[in-house]
């Protein structure tokens, strides 16, 4: 079982000089004023951990230059809302090649991504089996439990006075809920978090990883497979009302779910089911502290909690990018792509597109309240790859915001900006020391 290492510090990213014209300019430093950024510099900066605390100036430069920009690894960057939405919703674009793009030297055994990197019909088959656990009715039935967990964590943080909110709230809330939904015993939560840490970093392109991080990904994947193989065997012998039991029985009954597919699916659901939410919760706390007027509005109107989730997903998009490859010659709003062309979709950039949102750089927790016609954010994706865990994220965030509004009148950051993890795909705050008053 791999131990969770401390947060890794990395130098500025170097993707090489022969992958695209973007890389010829070399990386700009995080001290470069946004107004002085070139398109080439901005395109490279979005992969540099030095910019993780605020990469949005780079996105603005890219959007202003056009909806598409040359990017690394021979891929085009997609920067604006309309183009991102069009590609995500079009079945001519496949997500199945992301493993080959990001991890060209991996045999796949250390990347248990299951239906995330599949297309129909396999994607449809596995998602249908998993989707039963994430139905709106089943998630809504968890409301009382989420309220209990969120309340306990917030009360403990208030009692402590000064805490790291990543450790005190952001990690334990989503990890507890996805683990309970899946049927992972409480005694194993720390172990699965340790394994998840290595996989979350390992989802980044291999060219950004050290050999130690690649080795940790391999060890974590092997440990996860060993863990879930044992848990599935126990659930087959003694089923419970949880996702592991449901998938174990489906596989045993020949519902076209192989053993490898089941193990990979369980791993990716556990990792994706909490790592991105950890990032969202951490960023939410930071934004509420930086925008006290918005926190005051939430406390005055706790009914804003539900629509505020969409605004926070738009403003604090936890997964900044994804990839797609054209399966045939296709045109996207005037831009031509040949079969085999790949793109890096900048979800976080699209969610700040002034062409779709009024004053997009402003956090407005009431933006989605009141029935106004506001474009849906793209943080959950579009089409058949739309985030299967979206109902769980919405419920956790809504009830956490309601709990904060009732019990925590003041949040004070002790460090700003806080340190960020080097992760590119599942990025987020490493530590968030705060004083929380009840």
pLDDT tens digits, 27-66: 334 445 566 889 999 999 999 999 999 999 999 999 999 9
pLDDT above 90 covers what percent of the chain?
Answer: 68
The pLDDT score that the predictor gives to residue 260 is 84
Structure tokens at 159: 């009692």
Q: Which of 23-37, 120-134, 147-161, 245-259 is predicted with the least confidence, judged by mean pLDDT?
A: 23-37
The pLDDT score that the predictor gives to residue 264 is 87
Structure tokens at 366: 């009431």
Question: What DSSP character marks residue 429?
Answer: B
Return the higher-pLDDT residue of 16 and 346. 346
Question: What DSSP character marks residue 433?
Answer: E
Q: What phi and psi values does residue 111 have, to the nearest 5 degrees?
A: -130, 75
Do 118 and 97 meet the contact criterion of CB atoms below 8 Å apart?
Answer: no
Q: How far apart are CA 194 and CA 203, in angstroms?
A: 15
Residue 425 half-sphere exposure, CB side, CA atoms within 13 Å?
Answer: 22
Please give the torsion angle defined by the CA atoms of residues 351, 355, 360 and 361, in that order, rounded to the nearest 10 degrees: 100
Cα end-to-end span (Å), the chain: 39
pLDDT tens digits, 264-283: 888 888 888 899 999 999 99
Q: Which fold has domain 82-437?
A: Cytochrome p450 (1.10.630)
Domain boundary assignment for the chain: 16-79, 82-437
What is the widest separation between alpha-carbon atoms in the chain?
63
């Amino acid at each position: 079982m791999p131990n969770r290492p401390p947060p890794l510090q990395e130098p500025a990213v170097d993707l090489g000089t022969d992958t695209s014209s973007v890389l010829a300019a070399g990386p700009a430093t995080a001290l470069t004023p946004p107004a002085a950024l070139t398109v080439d510099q901005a395109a490279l900066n979005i992969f540099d951990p030095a910019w993780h605390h605020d990469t949005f100036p780079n996105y603005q430069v890219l959007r202003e230059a056009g909806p598409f920009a040359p990017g690394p690894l021979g891929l085009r960057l997609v920067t604006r809302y309309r183009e991102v939405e069009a590609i995500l919703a079009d079945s001519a674009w496949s997500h199945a090649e992301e493993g080959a793009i990001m991890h060209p030297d991996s045999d796949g055994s250390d990347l248990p991504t299951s239906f995330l990197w599949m297309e129909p019909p396999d994607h449809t088959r596995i998602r249908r089996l998993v989707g039963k656990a994430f139905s709106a009715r089943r998630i809504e039935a968890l409301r009382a439990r989420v309220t209990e967990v969120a309340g306990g964590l917030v009360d403990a943080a208030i009692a402590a006075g000064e805490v790291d909110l990543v450790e005190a709230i952001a990690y334990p809330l989503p990890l507890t809920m996805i683990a309970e939904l899946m049927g992972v015993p409480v005694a194993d939560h720390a172990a699965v978090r340790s394994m998840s840490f290595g996989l979350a970093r390992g989802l980044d392109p291999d060219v950004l990883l050290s050999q130690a991080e690649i080795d940790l990904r391999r060890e974590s994947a092997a440990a996860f497979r060993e863990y879930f193989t044992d848990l599935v065997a126990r659930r087959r012998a003694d089923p419970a009302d949880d996702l592991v039991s449901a998938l174990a029985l489906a596989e045993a009954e020949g519902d076209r779910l192989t053993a490898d597919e089941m193990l990979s699916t369980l791993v990716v659901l556990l990792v994706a089911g909490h790592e991105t939410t950890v990032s969202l919760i951490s960023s939410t706390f930071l934004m509420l502290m930086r925008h006290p007027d918005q926190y005051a509005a939430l406390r005055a109107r706790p009914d804003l909690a539900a629509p505020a989730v969409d605004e926070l997903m738009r403003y604090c998009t936890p997964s900044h990018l994804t990839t797609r490859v054209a399966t045939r010659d296709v045109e996207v709003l005037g831009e031509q792509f040949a079969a085999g062309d790949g793109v890096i979709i900048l979800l976080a950039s699209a969610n700040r597109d002034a062409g779709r949102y009024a004053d997009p750089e402003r956090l407005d927790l009431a933006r989605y309240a009141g029935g106004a016609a506001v474009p849906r954010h793209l943080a959950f994706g579009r089409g058949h790859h739309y985030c299967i865990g979206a109902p769980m994220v919405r419920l956790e965030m809504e009830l956490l915001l309601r709990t904060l509004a009732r019990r925590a009148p003041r949040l004070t950051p002790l460090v700003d900006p806080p340190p960020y993890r080097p992760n590119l795909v599942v990025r987020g705050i490493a530590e968030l020391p705060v004083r929380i008053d009840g």
